[in-house]
Amino acid sequence: MPAERLTLARALNEALRTALEEDSSVLVMGEDVGTLGGVFRVTDGLQKDFGQDRVMDSPLAESGIVGTAIGLALVGYRPVVEIQFDGFVFPAYDQIVTQLAKLHARSHGTIRMPMVIRIPYGGGIGAVEHHSESPEALFAHVAGLKVVSPSNPTDAYWMLWQAIRSDDPVIFFEPKRRYWDTAEVDLSARPDPLHQARVVRPGTDLTLAGYGPTVQLCLEAAEAAVAEGKSLEVLDLRSVSPVDFDTVQRSVERTHRLVVVHEAPVFFGAGAEIAARVTTRCFYTLEAPVLRVGGYHAPYPAARLEKEFLPDLDRVLDAVDHSLAY
Amino acid sequence: MPAERLTLARALNEALRTALEEDSSVLVMGEDVGTLGGVFRVTDGLQKDFGQDRVMDSPLAESGIVGTAIGLALVGYRPVVEIQFDGFVFPAYDQIVTQLAKLHARSHGTIRMPMVIRIPYGGGIGAVEHHSESPEALFAHVAGLKVVSPSNPTDAYWMLWQAIRSDDPVIFFEPKRRYWDTAEVDLSARPDPLHQARVVRPGTDLTLAGYGPTVQLCLEAAEAAVAEGKSLEVLDLRSVSPVDFDTVQRSVERTHRLVVVHEAPVFFGAGAEIAARVTTRCFYTLEAPVLRVGGYHAPYPAARLEKEFLPDLDRVLDAVDHSLAY
Amino acid sequence: MTANGNQRPPGTDEPAVPDFADALNAFMSHREDPGMLQLLTPEGALVAPPDRTPGYDPELLRALYRDMVMARGFDTEATALQRQGELGLWPPLAGQEAAQVGSAHALRADDYVFPSYREHAVAWCRGVNPLDIIKLYRGVTNGGWDPRETNFHLYTLVVGSHALHATGYAMGLAKKGSDAAAIAYFGDGATSEGDVAEAFTFAAVHSAPVVFFCQNNQWAISEPVERQLRGPLYRRADGFGFPGVQVDGNDALAVHAVTRAALEHVRAGNGPFFIEASTYRMGAHTTSDDPTRYRRPAEVEHWRARDPIVRLRTHLSHADDTAPVFFEEVEEEARKLAHRIRHDTRILPHPHRLAVFDHVYAEGHAVVDEEREQFEEYHRSFADGETE
Amino acid sequence: MTANGNQRPPGTDEPAVPDFADALNAFMSHREDPGMLQLLTPEGALVAPPDRTPGYDPELLRALYRDMVMARGFDTEATALQRQGELGLWPPLAGQEAAQVGSAHALRADDYVFPSYREHAVAWCRGVNPLDIIKLYRGVTNGGWDPRETNFHLYTLVVGSHALHATGYAMGLAKKGSDAAAIAYFGDGATSEGDVAEAFTFAAVHSAPVVFFCQNNQWAISEPVERQLRGPLYRRADGFGFPGVQVDGNDALAVHAVTRAALEHVRAGNGPFFIEASTYRMGAHTTSDDPTRYRRPAEVEHWRARDPIVRLRTHLSHADDTAPVFFEEVEEEARKLAHRIRHDTRILPHPHRLAVFDHVYAEGHAVVDEEREQFEEYHRSFADGETE
Ligand SMILES: Cc1ncc(C[n+]2csc(CCOP(=O)(O)OP(=O)(O)O)c2C)c(N)n1
Ligand SMILES: Cc1ncc(C[n+]2csc(CCOP(=O)(O)OP(=O)(O)O)c2C)c(N)n1
Ligand SMILES: [Mg+2]
Ligand SMILES: [Mg+2]
């Protein structure tokens, strides 16, 4: 396939389409994924092309969606489940944590759970309550799950395609405010391994690490820092469980400083694990503590306050300054 | 009341009894908390003494228990909810995370949610699956909740009493393998503030920090280390949200080294947040990275393997050695 | 005058009469098909003569009519405001006025209402200031009003979860010896959520005085009711051990009567009651939705002909000889309300940035304190508030 | 011979006959009270003459009897092993043998079973090695057997959650065009969990070939059924749009007949079916439980007189003249099974410590790899395996 200009949402749609074509055991299910094509149109046209049997509108019950998807996986299907918004995954949390995550281990490997749970997440779109959250840490702590988040259309395509082919359950967080970002997507290039981080901009003075919606922000910060004579390296972590600590470590060994940026609240967030492990690995290399920029320990605020809550250019640059001041 | 020798389970029972006596709006509810007195007998005799109206056996539905408790709190009650085991809290996770935690903020402070959710947690009792887990990090990441865990009968009594009097929702993790530990409990002494950590054994070479079931283990490690000429300070964190970072910082400023011990998996566990924040606060003071001893990134194993999974004396001392080797 | 500028204190017009439920039963048992309860036909005619119609009272009907028109006026204005970029989102209520206003008028002031996110007409009847609802959808707050003032709880966006709150609230009312009731409003889609089933179980076991009021508007976003459940829906309750009935949700009179009977039933200690009000969402799910993607114009037309406001107006003007001036006055009032809302929306103050940290806890939290301090410090670091 | 030493391959004794459901319906409609289905009275007499009793077949009854005795033998031995410290826990099944064996015999080998944690007799009938169940409760594994070998899924301890797995599995069967069915076993208490209700909804909407088999053993640990729900329970299904029946769960013949009819119903594409088997847990909830704290001896006595094994034995010896040697042989077989289990349990190998890290993921995970390595390194650091 030649390179195409696609939005991130469209790239996901293409990945689903490819997966549905390649493997007849792939199913797409969730609320409003059929006729409507999903509230973000990520599943647009799929039911029309693949039928109601493979692209199923589910009743409004998230535990039911994930629970029946587990049963479908047991009988040989590969369900790709959509949760309509980040804040609505919690009714399914029990099925995900106590069932989906454990069945492979409990069965001594005889059962596989090749399921993807797609969750549009994060803020920045001026939405109402429960529509802007970043709960990835609540899944990364749970053994048996993998957690990833693409930052751009190309990764969106390839990472979703890889997640669907994975025999492990993958929680796939889609940065909803980047759904309309466009890029040239080369659908024929070979992708990186799913859980491998990537240096998206090399630099020498400090490493900025983000994933999903914050990678773009980190890139903007690195660009802005040039004017001040600072060279920032930007990492796209791509995966939150596992985290590719090797790539992070190599970067920090070059730059000696690390700032992690995510939208989720900092307290008990992914930045904590990254800080703890990188500090252990790079104790003598780090010239400043690993700093974190993220949400506050507060419920995601009403839309008109979200820019106060979300990491932005100034806050990232402020953290960079703090780090460099050590 | 004079000092009494009580098990931790009994001390909790006394705290419930005191709260039920002092405040007629306190309710106790959960599966089997009435006639049976709970599977661990923590609510033993309460229904007999306070009636079915105040000590209620709930249908087998955790979301229902927490959801109706929210309604009861709205109409002026202070529900103390029991979740029978750690692994069964997840059906209630949605109510806890999206409703209980947020109602105070959403209502601009006009609604209060004075609810305690008691959860027997942790391993070491040879139980079957879902009966030995330590999910505290999954609650600590959620703003609006407070998370505490007592380590001994005296704290069990006072912390539960304080949690019930608190106007915030408190997730109260009870170290089930310490239920039968006994101690002299002085029911008339004034307790520390609920979220204040405590130095339970002073030392000079390294700080060991635990909470709930691991405090005793830390004390044993400190005792064992004496023979090797090492002086370890032991902190009982007592609260996981918030963490009393001030007390931890003061300790680390004295000892320059910190090892955090919990039963929960290390990956994305409480130790990560403690390591990240303490490293920031004590960057120039720390002579070794903050090390963590805890469970592995694996489902809690079958009973005959749990001693491999749980932190034990050797693993704690091993981490101490590693830290001191820096 | 209450907060919403509504002259009537909420829910006082219809004190419960002990034998109302009996009257309703008598009415039902005289009908050939005791299926869906309807008192007013879509053409605005009474099904039975006035003296055999439970609760028939032209004054009540005019009060219902007035509130339905006011609610639609408010709703239409809010939809327009959203289109103009003043609101982030709006879930229109148009079509469901009879279900909401009819039921709300059956409530007492001391009953407590648990709405979902589309109960603007119930809110109006309870005396909630419409501007407070606007605030929510403008993104100024995640709450909007003090529920204690009107006994109208905050909107709940996590579908179905408030059914349990209503049940717990009702359990508490019973514990206190109060004869007030709780009512939970939710949609057809919500009945699939486990929480709603758990609410049914808890309410039944505890004989809690709660009415479950389901507006079956035929759609959960793009999913028609057949894709959500195998009906008939009103029978769901029976399997949990309590009564359920289906009512024509576009017939305000029938909705009022059945809700009143349900409230009497629950107040008397008989346990919960389920009402399925069959109605239709005439507009989009929310302003972000495009219903033309999933439903046929013919269906929309079919239901438009069953507009609950038209039905009541036809009845009042033909059967009851209500003077045209009444309708004009109501229209004028609704226009004024819309005008006031438009004006007030535009001048709603922006929330203070520090509000992010407000009321996370009632008794404080060290991490919140630390983060608030750093936040203030950070903003102080910008000279002269250049980023204000 | 199958894994459990059971001569008969699982579930092949009763191929479904298309008109069985009709026969059952005819039987039911001849009865005065079509309430709970019973074919054998507690005294072991047939309710109707043999030729009017659906599925009556002395050979089948002996097969049921044999498996019930074997299951009780196993259960009694496991309880004893727990008391002797060989098992961490045991949930005794005693009293529920008719419900489990009767239903299990109605299944085909290609049907798939989703048990909770007490379905030892179903497991036995499916050909699961009892020692594999022992392993689970000894704490050697969280699984125990390969479900694909017997189409008997792993036990699920999170009450009610597997009802959804069964539903999804059944949806998948239908998608594949198979006429196999899924069956989910759960208790009375489980019906309160939201997941069970959601399973009902999904199964109904998708017309999934799933039988929901509820053993109402009157108790959820210490909570009697009245504290869990407002009955009658079997009517729960009707509210979700599919049929439910109540059967005497201590009457193996009736359970078998009704399950067979239910399976025919679901295989034919009619959607799900709900069975409430009214039975009794004669022992403790688990060996950790003390039922004397919450139930009266008279109740236990009442049910002991309804022991399902005694009922069938009485019937077989009186009505059917089964020779005493049959009973002696079965007893002897059960004794041998118990003996074998006792022996094999004691020599069960301890799992290898590294098993903690096994199968967390199918495709690996860097953190698990790193931790496993550190773990091995740590253990190597102890000289000469001193802590082995
Ligand atoms: C738990 C949860 N899942 C999904 C959503 C997204 N969502 C919002 S409204 C809605 C449909 C609700 O349909 P129904 O209950 O019939 O109410 P209606 O909107 O028709 O009034 C959905 C799926 C949600 N708000 N909460
Ligand atoms: C979600 C969940 N909550 C609580 C428990 C603890 N628990 C185990 S069995 C049980 C009672 C189950 O009763 P029932 O469904 O009637 O089955 P029975 O044990 O009587 O066979 C409870 C409360 C659990 N296993 N899972
Ligand atoms: Mg609807
Ligand atoms: Mg039971």
Residue B53 near chain D (CB below 8 Å) = no
Give, as one character, the DSSP assignment of residue A123.
Answer: -
The alpha carbon of B167 and the centre of ligand 1 are apart by a number of angstroms equal to 31
What pLDDT shows up at residue D4? Answer: 53
Interfacial residues of D (vs C; Cβ cutoff 8 Å): 191-198, 201, 204-205, 226-231, 235-242, 271
Q: How far apart are CA B113 and CA A210, in angstroms?
A: 35
What is the rounded CA–CA span in Å between residue B223 and residue B183? 19
pLDDT over threshold 80, residue D11:
no
Q: Whole-angstrom Cα distance, residue A185 to residue A2?
A: 8
Residue B268 confidence (pLDDT) above 90: yes
- Give C-chain residues touching D238 at CB under 8 angstroms: 235, 238-239
d(CA C14, CA C200): 27
Query: Is residue D363 a contact partner of residue D369, using CB atoms and an 8 Å limit?
Result: no
- Residue D36 one-letter amino acid: M
Q: Which pair of tokens denotes residue A81? A: 């489940």
Report which bound ligand comes closest to the CA of A31: 1
Q: Which of D294, D339, D346, D379 is catalytic?
A: D294
D267 touches chain A (CB under 8 A): no
pLDDT band at C20 (very low <50, low <70, confident <90, very high): confident
pTM (whole model) above 0.95: yes
pLDDT for D303 beyond 60:
yes
**pLDDT value at D356 more than 90:** yes
B203 shares a domain with B126? no
* A contact residues 242-261, partner D, Cβ 8 Å cutoff: 242-246
Q: Is C366 on the interface with A (CB under 8 A)?
A: no
| pLDDT < 50 regions, chain A | none
Q: pLDDT tens digits, residue range C166-222? A: 999 999 999 999 999 999 999 999 999 999 999 999 999 999 999 999 999 999 999
CB contacts, 8 Å: A90 with chain C: 158
Residue range D19-346, CATH number: 3.40.50.970
CB contact under 8 Å between C229 and D193, yes or no, is: no
CB–CB contact B299 D142 (8 Å): yes
| Closest to C369 in 3D by CA, of A117, D149, B245 | B245
Check CB contact under 8 Å for D362 and A167.
yes
Residue B64 forms contact with C (CB below 8 Å)? yes
Quote the pLDDT of residue D34.
72
D21/B274: higher pLDDT? B274
Confidence of residue C345 (pLDDT cuts 50, 70, 90): very high
Q: How far is C190 from chain D (nearest CA, A)?
A: 11
- Cα–Cα–Cα angle for D384, D386, D388, rounded to 5 degrees: 105
Ligand 2 mean position, distance from CA D227 (Å): 14
Q: Are A209 and A244 in contact (CB under 8 A)?
A: no
- pLDDT attached to residue D231: 86
Minimum distance, in Å, between the CA of residue A37 and any CA atom of chain D: 20
Please report whether residue B190 resides in a domain.
no
Q: For residue D245, what are the β-bridge partners?
A: D275
Rounded Cα distance, D196 and D186, in Å: 9
In terms of domains, do B157 and B294 share one?
no
Tell me how crowded residue B16 is: count the other CB atoms within 10 A of its CB.
29
Across B163-179, b (16+ Cβ under 10 Å) vs e yields bbbbebbbbbbbbbbbb
First to last CA, chain B: 49
Does residue C141 sit in helix, strand or coil? coil
DSSP string, D11-77: T-S----TTHHHHHHHHHHTSS--SSB-SB-TTS-BSS-GGGSTT--HHHHHHHHHHHHHHHHHHHH
Distance CA D256, CA D69 (A): 16
User: How far are the Cα atoms of B320, C28, C160, C169, D318 from residue C190, in angstroms, in the given order?
Assistant: 53, 28, 5, 19, 55
- Quote the pLDDT of residue C35: 85
- Structural domain range at position B50: 4-185
Task: Give pLDDT, residue B92.
Answer: 98
Same domain as B229, residue B165? no
Residue D384 has what pLDDT?
52
B49 domain-assigned: yes
pLDDT tens digits for B38-90? 999 999 999 999 999 999 999 999 999 999 999 999 999 999 999 999 999 99
User: Which pLDDT does position D7 carry in this prediction?
Assistant: 46
Please tell me the predicted confidence (pLDDT) of residue D28. 77
Tens digits of residue pLDDT in D73-107 = 999 999 999 999 999 999 999 999 999 999 999 99
**CA D36 – ligand 2 centroid, Å:** 25
A71 and A8 in a single domain? The answer is yes
Judged by CB atoms closer than 8 Å, whether chains meet at A143 and D158 is answered as no
Angle among Cα B231, B234, B237 to the nearest 5 degrees reads 160
Structure tokens at D306: 């309804």
Q: Is there an atom of ligand 1 within 6 Å of A60 CB?
A: yes
Most A CBs within 10 A among D132, D198, D240, D358, hence the mutation to make, goes to D198
Give the Cα separation of A34 and B43 in Å (integer). 49
Q: Is the CB of C220 under 6 A from ligand 1?
A: yes
Q: What contacts B244, CB < 8 A, 6 or more positions away?
A: B195, B196, B197, B237, B238, C366
Confidence of residue C28 (pLDDT cuts 50, 70, 90): confident
Question: Which tens digit of pLDDT belongs to each residue from D76-85?
Answer: 999 999 999 9
Pairing mode, strands B170-175 and B146-148: parallel
Residue A190 lies in a domain: no
Contact state of A105 with B299 under an 8 Å Cβ cutoff = yes
Question: Which residue is catalytic, options C105, C120, C165, C281?
Answer: C281
Q: How far is CA A51 from CA A28, A217, C37, D82, D208, in A?
A: 10, 39, 38, 53, 18
Chain B contacts in chain A segment 255-274 (CB below 8 A): 264-265, 267-273
Residue A145 lies in a domain: yes
- Domain shared by A235 and A205, yes or no: yes
Residue B264 lies in a domain: yes
- Nearest-angstrom CA–CA distance, C117 and C121: 11
What is the band of B211 on the pLDDT scale with cuts at 50, 70, 90?
A: very high
Work out the minimum CA distance from B231 to partner chain C, whole angstroms. Answer: 30
What the block records as the tokens of A168 is: 């492990």
Query: Which of B7-21, C188-202, D14-28, D118-132 shows the lowest mean pLDDT across its residues?
Result: D14-28
Neighbours of D179 (CB within 10 A): 17
List chains touching B (3+ CB pairs under 8 A). Answer: A, C, D
Domain containing residue B310: CATH number: 3.40.50.920
Q: What is the pLDDT of residue D12?
A: 46
Using CA atoms, how far apart are residues A85 and C229, in angstroms rounded to an integer?
Answer: 22
Structural domain contains residue B232: yes
- Whether A191 is in a domain gets the answer no
**Using CA atoms, how far apart are residues A277 and B297, in angstroms rounded to an integer?**
14
- Of A157, A185, A213, the one marking the end of a domain is A185
C78-96: string of b/e by CB count within 10 Å (b at 16+)?
bbbbbeeebbbbbbbbbbb
Contact A124/C at CB under 8 A: no
The burial of C10, by beta-carbon neighbours within 10 Å (0-12 exposed, 13-18 middle, 19 or more buried), is given as buried
From residue C60, give the alpha-carbon distance in Å to each of A8, C47, C101, C257, D218: 55, 17, 11, 11, 49
Which of B194-203, C29-38, D319-328 is predicted with the least confidence, judged by mean pLDDT? C29-38
**Cα end-to-end span (Å), chain A:** 49
Beta partners for residue B183, in sequence order: B6
Do the bridges between strand A198-201 and strand D182-187 make them parallel or antiparallel, or are there none, so unpaired?
unpaired
Q: Does ligand 2 have an atom closer than 6 angstroms to the CB of D285?
A: yes
Beta carbons within 10 angstroms of residue A190's beta carbon:
6
Nearest-ligand number for the alpha carbon of D118: 2
- Other Cβ atoms within 10 Å of B277 Cβ, number: 24
- Ligand 1 neighbourhood includes C196 CB (under 6 angstroms): no
> Cβ of A283 and B289 within 8 Å?
yes
Instruction: Evaluate whether C211 touches C259 at the Cβ level (below 8 Å).
Output: yes
Q: In the numeric block, which tokens belong to residue A77?
A: 């299907």
In this model, does residue D145 exceed pLDDT 90?
yes
Q: pLDDT of C49-89, one tens digit each? A: 999 999 999 999 999 999 999 999 999 999 999 999 999 99
pLDDT at D178 exceeding the cut of 90:
yes
Q: Which residue(s) pair with B232 in the sheet?
A: B206
Bridge partner list, C245: C275
Is C332 buried (19+), middle (13-18) or exposed (0-12) by CB count in 10 A? Answer: exposed
Tell me how far the alpha carbon of residue C216 lies from the centroid of ligand 3, in angstroms: 5
Query: Is residue B116 in a domain?
Result: yes
Q: Is the CB of C187 under 6 A from ligand 1?
A: yes
Residue B305 near chain A (CB below 8 Å): no
Contact status, residue A227 vs residue A221, Cβ threshold 8 Å: no
Of the candidates C313, C308, C314, C185, the residue with the CA atom closest to the CA atom of residue C248: C308
Q: How many domains does chain A have?
A: 2
User: What is the per-residue pLDDT for D383?
Assistant: 61
Task: Output the domain CATH number for residue B46.
Answer: 3.40.50.970
- Which ipTM score applies to this complex? 0.97
- Asked if B134 has any chain C CB less than 8 Å from its own CB, the reply is no
C25 touches chain A (CB under 8 A): no
Q: Which residues pair with B117 in a beta bridge?
A: B81, B171
- Among B130, B155, B185, give the residue marking a domain's end: B185
- Answer whether residue D1 shows pLDDT above 60: no
Using the mean position of ligand 3's atoms as its centre, give its distance from the Cα of residue C278 in Å.
10
Whether residues B159 and B229 share a domain: the answer is no
Which candidate in D260, D285, D306, D315 is catalytic?
Answer: D285
B276 interfaces chain A, CB cutoff of 8 Å: yes
Tell me if residue C365 is catalytic. no
- The two structure tokens encoding residue C95: 């079509």
Mean pLDDT of C94-101: 98
The Cα of A104 is separated from the nearest Cα of chain D by a number of Å equal to 6
Task: Answer whether D167 sits within 8 Å of A107, measured CB to CB.
Answer: no
Of D72, D66, D68, the C-alpha closest to D326 is D66
pLDDT in tens, D35-56: 899 999 999 999 999 999 999 9
Test C156 with B76 for CB contact under 8 angstroms.
no
In this prediction, residue C141 carries a pLDDT of: 97
CA-CA distance, B182 to C347, in Å (whole number)?
63
Q: Which of C139, C189, C351 has the CB atom closest to A60's CB atom? A: C189
